[in-house]
Amino acid sequence: MNASAPIGVTLVGGFLGAGKTTLVNHILRHDPRRRIGVLVNDFGAINIDADLIAAREGDAIRLTNGCLCCGVGDSLSRALIEMLAQSVRPGHLLIEASGVAEPWRIAELIGAAHEFAPPTTLVVVDGSRIEVQLADRYIGDLARSQIESADLLVLNKMDLVAATTQAALVGRMHDAWPLKHLAITIQGRIDLERLAVIPRPSRFHASRPPVVAAADRFVGLRFVTKVPFSAPRLDAAMAAMPPWIFRLKGIVRLAGEETPQNLQFTPARWSLTALTHRSSSPTSRIVAIARHDYADDDTLDRLLTTALIQPREAGVWSAG
């Protein structure tokens, strides 16, 4: 048995587009610990979020493909074993869960390993959309399950909530979950002192009814091309995205731009941000997460293909 003290774990969960990767990057930039192990997972075969993590010198980066909440616990177990096998163990482990994961399932799996302390779970929600998501008949139960997993509930993107309604929103969240610790953030900039005062989580969790498995509810699609995008056409494609797309993200190349761009889309909101710290690549990679029973590869292929500067040179959407 390893006699070392258990490694502390921070688990970051929350629905698609809530701002988890932004918060993880904020922690990595400002946490004083010298060596943080990082696990990033995503729903699908291309792990865009892993490419957007700002690695620090000396940090251990380990990735898992697929969703940790839907039957691939062995993948997480292997990643944890590999991390423990390093010549120098991390001082802390930071896990970014898939946006379609139920964090409590991951927390229970980690809590069963004596090498790790019971995780402290941060659940990030988009303050501008959380009430719509909770009321949605298709995803409301998942959004609610994620919130109920939280040791600290992070109400993010509050700059997108009208100033006149912010207090009322916070009050409703407090009323709905009166025992939850709540942090208000913009762009994931959480006060790290808040993380130090969260009550230590229990190693045991009450049984919760499972929500519909992610694989039965969502489908992941990917689009890869070496043809640059036209910025105006890509903007038009984002405006025309069908309502059954919950999330779209990617690292893309624009015509006339050497710097790759970070493409982020949630319903009715999208952005392109230059990734100045990355070297140029001729390949654009985009992933989408869609409603399983509505997803239409042809529609997405047509939208993205017409956004290329040479539309006949199409990329390929495929499941995964």
8-state DSSP, 278? S
By three-state DSSP, how is residue 26 classified? helix
pLDDT at 296: 78
pTM for the model stands at: 0.85
Query: pLDDT tens digits, the chain, 320 residues: what are they?
Result: 455 789 999 999 999 999 999 999 899 888 876 688 888 876 655 566 666 676 555 555 555 544 444 444 457 777 788 878 877 788 888 999 989 988 988 888 888 888 998 899 999 999 999 999 999 999 999 999 999 999 999 999 999 999 999 999 999 999 999 989 999 999 999 998 888 777 666 544 544 565 677 778 888 888 999 999 999 999 999 999 999 999 999 999 999 998 999 999 999 899 999 998 777 778 999 999 999 887 777 888 899 999 998 765 445 555 55
Residue 61: beta bridge partners?
Answer: 38
Alpha helices in the chain (DSSP H): 20-30, 48-52, 73-84, 103-111, 130-135, 140-148, 163-176, 192-196, 214-217, 231-239, 297-305
Tokens for 68, please give them: 């940790």
**Residue the block writes with tokens 């774990």:** 9
pLDDT at 242: 93
Would residue 204 be called left, alpha or beta, if left means φ above 0 and alpha means ψ between -120 and 50 degrees? beta
pLDDT at 71: 41
CB 262 within 8 A of CB 52: yes
Would residue 255 be called left, alpha or beta, if left means φ above 0 and alpha means ψ between -120 and 50 degrees? beta
CB 183 within 8 A of CB 192: no
